[in-house]
Amino acid sequence: MRTFTHINAHTVNEACELLGQYRGKARLNAGGTDLLAMLKGDIWPEYPEAVINVKTIPGLDSITENDNVLKIGALALLSDVAKSPTIKEKCGVLAKAALSVGSPLIRNVATIGGNLCQAPRCWYYRYPRRLGGPLPCLRKGTGPCLAVKGDNRYHAILEGKGCFAVCTSDIAVALAALDAKITIAGPKGERSISVVDFFQPLGNTLKIDEMIKDFQIPATMLSMEQRFLKFTLRKPIDFAIVSVAASIGLNNGVCTDARIILGAVAPMPFRAKAAEEKIVGQPISDNVAAEAAEKALANAKPLSMNAYKVEIAKTLVRRAIKGSTAGLGE
């Protein structure tokens, strides 16, 4: 790995200030499992000047519940999120999503905030320098998206515009299904934004001098049925080919409220509003679930090699609505 200046930040303010001073040429390091992979691959047009360690900021890894809000610090480890009794009880979708990431080794160092901010999982974007890379692409500011004419088996089937890399953050999908808010700290103080709004087609809304501080999950969501399904070739290690997180309010078998979020199908977590609308007010049945799944993927525009993802996504939406988890590693 090429070297860089390394700085331990001790407060959120200090971290943001440092980011500001480096004007985009510094990277925050939380768990490091994605950042170090990017640095080793040496794939960014500009190699960072500095790495700012945020693990030295105390208190950012706490999981607390008060005033009807569950608050999770950005540096909470995925292994802690996965086994926190509060999270398991109140928002199982998040615990399951956390448990589905990587491997126990990864979860022991990777953080919830880091998972949300992971670089896109695109094998063109990540193609390493050592093998003749990096490859210029739309996401890096030069040229077209290479997936369009290339091997796009894992790329976007929905909402691809220019760049077809997908967001594979399992945490993002689960938090979006929980309607979580993100507290973002910056030089001018803090702001709050919903997880769905946090993402943008080519990244996220974080400014160069901002960082995620914590996540807040409203209590209203905690009483809903929660489901997380992730389709991969293998249970550990793999990133999602398709994932679905759903919060479904039920009253005597009738759906009263729903949030259905798909992961790894679009550049951002994809909220399947059409599917939600289809099921709200309906008793959950095979037919309703199947119709909702069709609606969810109605606008899918698969690329040359990924039409199969549409079928898998429909299956997952259907199974999430029906509560069936057969064979999906849950």
Pick out residues in 87-116 that bind other proteins (CB under 8 A): 102-106, 108-109
Q: Does 305 bind other proteins (CB under 8 A)?
A: yes
Q: Does 287 bind other proteins (CB under 8 A)?
A: no
b/e map 168-202, b = 16+ CB within 10 Å:
bbbbbbbbbbbbbbbbbbbeeeeeebebbebbeeb
Q: In the bound complex, what is the minimum distance in angstroms from residue 283's beta carbon to other proteins? A: 22
Q: How far apart are CA 198 and CA 204, in angstroms?
A: 6
**Considering only residues 44, 86, 129, 274, which one is a binding residue for other proteins as defined by CB under 8 A?**
129
b/e map 36-68, b = 16+ CB within 10 Å:
eebbebebeeebbebbbbbbebeebbebeeeee
Give, as ranges, the residues between 239 and 268 that touch other proteins (CB under 8 A). Answer: 239, 241
DSSP H stretches of helix in 164-203: 170-177, 195-198
Q: Does 153 bind other proteins (CB under 8 A)?
A: yes
Q: Does 330 bind other proteins (CB under 8 A)?
A: no
Q: Does 290 bind other proteins (CB under 8 A)?
A: no
Q: In the bound complex, what is the minimum distance in angstroms from residue 180's beta carbon to other proteins? A: 26
Which pair of structure tokens corresponds to residue 161?
A: 């515009």
Nearer to other proteins, 234 or 251 (CB): 234
The DSSP code for 297 is T
Q: How far apart are CA 32 and CA 128, in angstroms?
A: 18
Cβ atoms within 10 Å, residue 162? 13
CA dihedral 74, 80, 83, 84 (to 10 degrees): -60
Q: In the bound complex, what is the minimum distance in angstroms from residue 61's beta carbon to other proteins? A: 13
Q: In the bound complex, what is the minimum distance in angstroms from residue 101's beta carbon to other proteins? A: 11
Q: Does 141 bind other proteins (CB under 8 A)?
A: no
Q: In the bound complex, what is the minimum distance in angstroms from residue 83's beta carbon to other proteins? A: 11
**Residue pair 245/93 in contact by the 8 Å Cβ criterion:** yes
**Considering only residues 310, 317, 320, 321, which one is a binding residue for other proteins as defined by CB under 8 A?**
310
Span interacting with other proteins, options 170-178, 216-224, 275-283, 303-311, rule CB under 8 A: 303-311
**Considering only residues 113, 114, 124, 297, which one is a binding residue for other proteins as defined by CB under 8 A?**
124
Q: Which residue has the tokens 């390091």?
A: 29
Dihedral sign, CA of 180, 185, 189, 193?
negative
Q: In the bound complex, what is the minimum distance in angstroms from residue 194's beta carbon to other proteins? A: 29
Give, as ranges, the residues between 54 and 83 that touch other proteins (CB under 8 A). Answer: 55, 79
Q: Does 296 bind other proteins (CB under 8 A)?
A: no
Q: Which amino acid is at 96?
A: K
Give, as ranges, the residues between 12 and 51 that touch other proteins (CB under 8 A). Answer: 18, 21-23, 25, 29, 31-33, 36-37, 39-40, 42, 49-51
